[in-house]
Amino acid sequence: MSTPHSGEPLHADPALINAFEVLGQKWNGLILHALAQRPARFGEIRSAVSGISDRMLSDGLHELVARALVTHTRLPPGPVAYTLTADGHALAPVLDQAASWWRSRAG
């Protein structure tokens, strides 16, 4: 273990930088958490994520689809359902741990 001021340079893990590009977006983690419960339509996600605007939800879903964390499927007669991919599901425990950490701090 290094001691303070040991002269070793600090560095940011590139993988963590990439993870925070996704999870650092205010709404993305909440969208992923909602979809971890079950596939849902746009309006259902909007209801689950309190305070999100239609624009922010749309932007977040587009980003999560582009990053292969969420897929969308058109259902007959036309609404779209959003579902987590395997990579999206892999984030569910991380989001649960973050929520547990916060609850433990809030005491």
Residue 9: asked if its preceding bond is cis (omega within 30°), the reply is: no
Spell out the alpha helix ranges (H) of the chain. 14-23, 28-37, 42-48, 54-66, 86-106
pLDDT at 1: 55
**pLDDT tens-digit profile, the chain (107 residues):** 556 667 889 999 999 999 999 988 889 999 999 999 999 999 999 999 999 999 999 999 999 999 999 999 987 887 899 999 999 999 999 999 999 999 999 76
pTM: 0.85
pLDDT at 63: 96
pLDDT at 6: 73
CA pair distance 93, 64, nearest whole angstrom: 17
